[in-house]
Chain A
Amino acid sequence: MMENMLDHGDGKRRKFNVQGLFVSPWFKRLLLWLFPTLFLLQFFFVPLFRILILGFDASALKTENFSLAFSVLSFTFYQASLSLALTFILGLPSAILFARYNFYGKSFLRALTAIPFMLPTVVVATAFNSLLGPNGWIHTLLPLSSFQFMGTLTAILTAHVFYNTTIVIRIVGNALSRLDPKLEYAARSLGADSSRVWWNVILPLLRPSLLAAALLVFLFDFTSFGVILLLGGTNFSTLEVEIYLRVLKLPNLPLAALLSLIQLIFTLIFSLLYTRVINQTTVQTAPRFSASSFPANIREKIFAALLVLFLSSFFFLPLVSLPLRSLTRLEADRGQRTEVQYGITIDYYKELFINRRGSLFYVPPIQAALNSFAFAGLTVLFSLFLGFPAALALAKPTWLEKILDPLLILPLGSSAVMLGLGFILSFGSALSLPIFVPIAHTLIALPFVVRALQPAIASIPERLRQAASTLGASPFRVWQTVDFPILSRATLTAATFAFTISLGEFGATLLLSRPDRPTIPVAIARFLSQPGGLNYGQAMAMSTILMIITCVSILFIERDDNRFA
C-alpha cells in the first residue's frame, strides 16, 4: 500500500509535461471560470463600457443635463432618506419585539413581515392599489372621495416601509437576540438602570448591525424602480425612473447614460460602505440565543399588543386585498359611485385567456404568463450552467477568486434599468431576439445562484469523501452518495431563486421585451396604465397569479433553508 502510494507520487512527478498541464489545478480553475467570465464580459462589461462612453460624451455633459440630474438626484436622496427613517421607526421596535418577546403567532408574523421582501415590485404596487387605489377596497366601500393615495409620496414611502422593514427585523433583531445576555447582566449588576444598559451597552454593540441595516435599506430605496413608477405615477422621478423615461418615453440616450453613471457611482459607494460595515468587528455573540419571554408587565404587554396588531394589519391587508379584489366585481368599477354592488367573479381570470380586438395585446394576455415561464426556464438553465462552475471554484478560493467574486456581484449593484440601457446601446437591432430577456435575468440571478450553491459545495467535507472511498466506494459512488444528496437540494434552491427572480423582474424587462412578447410584470404594468374596470381586474388577476407563484417559491426556499440549519 505504502509502496504503491510512493510509486504513484513518483510517476506523477516524472510525467509532468503536457499531460500534467491539463490536469493541473490551475488549468481546471481557468476552465471553470471560462464561461462565467466570458458571459459577464459580453453582457455586463461591454454594455457598461458603452454607457461609460456615452455618459462622458459631449452630448451628455451639458449644463441642462446636470441641472436635471441634480434635481432628480436630490429627490432620489430625499425619498430614500424619508423611507429609511420611516422603516427604522417601524423596524426597530419590531426588532425588539421579535428578539425579546414571545407571543402567540410569533413565527407566523415573522414570516409574514418577510414575504414582501421577496415579492416582485409589480405585485406590491398592485396590492396597495387594490387596497388604497381609486378602484380599491377603501375607496369603493367608504366614501372618501378626497382621499388620494396613488400618485403620492405617501404611497411610495408606504411601499418602501412595507418592503424593507423585514431587513431591520432580521439584521438588528438577530444581532439583538444573539447579544450575550451576560453583558446586560454585568451592566445591571454594576449599577446601570435599563436606559443606561441600552445607551451604554446594547446600542453601541448593535452599531454595526444598525449601520448595515440602514445602508441596505437605503440602497434598496435609492434604486427602487417599480414602486416609484407604479405607485408614484408621473409626479415623481428618481434616477431609475428618469433613466427609464429617457430611454423609452422622452428619448435622450446620452442623458440616460449620464444618469446611469451617477446612479452607479452612488450604489457602488453604498455597497462598499456596506461591505466595510459587515466586515467590522462582529457583535459579541452568545453560544445560544438568549431567551425571549412573554411580556411581563403591563407596559410591555401594551407595547407588544399594539405593535403586533399594527404589524399584522400593515402586512396582512395588502396581501389579502389583492387576491380578494381579483375575485370581486365592484360596481364602482364602471364609474357609478351611487350604489356599490359587489359579487364574486372569476371573469378577470377568464378574460386573460381571450384575445380581444383592440385590446392591449395581439395575443391572449395569458400568453404573457407563458412568455414569463419560458424566460424563467431559460434563466434557470443559463444561471445554473454559469453558476455551477463559478460556485465550484469559489468553494476553495484562491487569489483568483478574490478578484472574480466581487465582479460576479457587480451586476446586482448596477440597476436593472441600467442593464436594459446597456443592452440597448450594445446590441441594437439584435435586441428583437427574445433571448436577451433571459440573458438580462441571468445577470441578475447569477449572484443569488452562486450564493445558494457555493456554501453547499464548500460544506461537503473532504473527510466525508475520503471516508466514503476508504469504505470502498468508487468515485462515482462517492459522488452519488455524498455529493449528490447535498447538492441536489442546493441546486433546487438555486433554481427556484433564478426562476422567481426572472418571473418578477420588471426594470430590465420593461426596456427589453418586445410589445408582442410581454412578461407577467410588463403586462400588469400595461393593464394598470389603461382605464377601465376590466383592465384593472386583469391586472389584479395576473398579480395574484404572480404572487401565488412567488409565495410558493419562497416557501420552498425557506423550507430548504431550515433543513440546512
Chain B
Amino acid sequence: MIIALLELRSISKTYQGQALLKGISFTVNSGETVCLLGVSGSGKSTLLRIIAGLESPDDGFVLFNGVDLASMPPHTRDFGLVFQDYGLFPHLNVFDNIAFGLKMQKIPASEIKQRVAALLKQINLTGFESRRVTDLSGGEQQRVALARALAPEPRLLMFDEPLGALDRTLKDDLLNELRVILRRTKIPAIYVTHDQDEAFAIAHRILLLHDGVIVREGTPAAVWNNPGSAWAAQFLSVGNIIGGIVNAKGKVKTDYGAFTLTCKHKHSKGEKISLLIRQSSGAHETLKLKVQDVIFKREQFEVHAQGGLVFHVKERPKVDGIIPLRVKVECLHENPKEKPSGRGSLSVRR
C-alpha cells in the first residue's frame, strides 16, 4: 500500500504582487522521488522553501503524516535541503559541515566521527575531513552538501537544482550516485530542476510546473508519451509542433496536408489547434519533406526540413532533396492547464 507521507494542499504564494504559486497540490509517498520540473522563475524554489518552513504560504497547507506543519519551525521539521550552489558553510571544514546537523541533535562526538566517516566513504571522499570546503571542486562540494543533508537522516530530502552548476559529465556521474543513494536509503525526495533529462533519470514521478500550477503529472514515460499540451511538448522537446485550423468537415488543415481529428473533445470550425509530430518507425503516416539543412550529430544526422521541422536520420540525406518520414501525429491542448485526454491520434490524408 502506498502511504502519502507529504501532502501539499492548494498552496498559493504571491511574490512582489505577482501570483507565483496558484493552488499547488500534490503528495510524496514513502520512498518515492518526485521531480518538480519547470522553467526558471516558475516558483519551484519558493515551493521548496515553503515545504521547509523557511517561508509561509499565503494560502494552503503542508501536511506530513497527516499533521499540519504550519506551526512547526524549520529546524524541527527534519527535512534536508541541497542547493544548486551548495550552501556549504565557508568557515567550517568538510567534517564540521557534515557534522553540523548531528551536532544540533547533540549526538556524542565519537558517534558523530563514525557517522561522518561512513558518509564520506559513501560519497567517495574518504580522508577529506579537514579539507577546507572552499578548496574543493564543484562536484566535491556538492557531494559534501549531499552528505551534510543525509547525515541527520532526514524524513524528507529536497534538492533545489542540485546539479545546475556542474558540467555535463560530472552531472551524469553525480546524478547516478544520487539515484543509487536515494533508492538505497529510501528517503523520500523532492527534486527540483529545469532539466528534463535529470528529471527523467531520477524521478519516480514528474510534476510539470507552469505558470503557478501543475499542468501534468505522471511517471517519466507517461509524461513523455503524452505531454498533453503544446507548452509541455515544447518544454520537454518531445517532437515538432505545428499549427492547424479546423475546417468545416472536422479536419485539421496544416501546411503539410489535412489531418482527420480523432481526439475525444470537440473542436469548432475555424479553431486553431496544435499538433505534435513525432518520428516513429512503427507509425503509419508518412510525411514527405524537403531537406533544407543537415547537421552531423554523432550516430545520426539532424535534418532541418521545410517549415522548421527537425528530425533525425541514420543516413545523410541530400540538401534540397525530398525524404519520406514515418510520423505519428497527435493532438495537443492549447491550454496547458487542461488535463490530457488520452491519446488523440490522427490519420493523415494527403
A residues sitting closer than 8 Å to B (CB atoms) are 180, 182-183, 185-193, 196, 200-201, 204-205, 207, 281, 284
Contacts and interface: CB of A to CB of B under 8 A. Distances in A.
A204 B91 contact: yes
A144 to B, nearest CB: 49
Given A187-B89, A191-B152, A192-B100, 16 more contacts: A186-B89, A186-B148, A188-B52, A188-B74, A189-B75, A189-B80, A189-B154, A190-B75, A190-B104, A190-B152, A191-B76, A191-B105, A196-B75, A205-B90, A281-B90, A284-B90
A182 B83 CA distance: 8
B229 to A, nearest CB: 33
Contacts of A180: 85, 87
B52 A185 contact: yes
B222 interface: no
Nearest to B90: A284
B100 A182 contact: no
Contacts of A191: 75-76, 78, 101, 104-105, 152
B79 A189 contact: yes
Contacts of A186: 81, 83, 87-89, 148
B49 interface: yes
Which 10 residue pairs are nearest across A and B when measured between Cβ atoms?
A190-B101, A191-B104, A182-B87, A189-B81, A188-B74, A186-B87, A284-B90, A204-B91, A182-B83, A191-B75
B66 interface: no
B69 to A, nearest CB: 13
B87 A185 contact: yes
10 contacts: A182-B85, A185-B52, A185-B83, A188-B53, A189-B80, A190-B80, A190-B148, A196-B75, A205-B89, A205-B90
A183 B134 CA distance: 14
Contacts of A193: 73, 75
Nearest to B49: A185
A284 B91 CA distance: 9
Looking at B90, B91, B100, B104, the one whose CB has the most chain A CB atoms below 10 A away is: B91
- SS class of chain A's interface: helix, strand, loop or mixed? helix
B319 interface: no
A201 B89 contact: yes
B54 interface: yes
B115 interface: no
Contacts, number: 70
Contacts of B154: 189
A491 to B, nearest CB: 39
Interface string B18-56: 000000000000000000000000000000010011100
B77 interface: yes
A207 B90 CA distance: 12
B145 to A, nearest CB: 8
Contacts of B90: 205, 281, 284
Kindly state the interface size class of chain B when it binds its partner: 20 to 34
Contacts of A185: 49, 52, 54, 74, 81, 83, 87
B104 A196 contact: yes
Nearest to A193: B75
Contacts of B104: 190-192, 196
Interface string B128-165: 00000010000000000000110010100000000000
Max chain B CB contacts within 10 Å: which of A189, A204, A205, A281?
A: A189
A31 B100 CA distance: 58
Contacts of B91: 204-205, 207
Interface string B281-310: 000000000000000000000000000000
A187 B73 contact: no
Nearest to B92: A204
> A180, A186, A204, A205: which has the most chain B beta carbons within 10 Å?
A186
A204 B75 CA distance: 20
Interface string B90-102: 1100000000110
A516 B290 CA distance: 96
A182 B48 CA distance: 12
A24 B40 CA distance: 53
Contacts of A187: 89, 100
Contacts of B88: 186
A345 to B, nearest CB: 52
Contacts of A188: 52-54, 73-75
B300 to A, nearest CB: 39
Nearest to A189: B81
B30 to A, nearest CB: 20
Given A187-B100, A204-B91, A205-B91, A192 B85 contact: no
Contacts of B134: 281
B203 to A, nearest CB: 21
Nearest to B74: A188
Contacts of B79: 189
A373 B148 CA distance: 63
B347 to A, nearest CB: 52
A102 to B, nearest CB: 12
A338 to B, nearest CB: 61
A207 B89 CA distance: 14
Contacts of B78: 191
A367 B173 CA distance: 79
A196 B105 CA distance: 12
Contacts of A196: 75, 104
Nearest to B133: A284
Nearest to B73: A193
A189 B74 contact: yes
A551 to B, nearest CB: 34
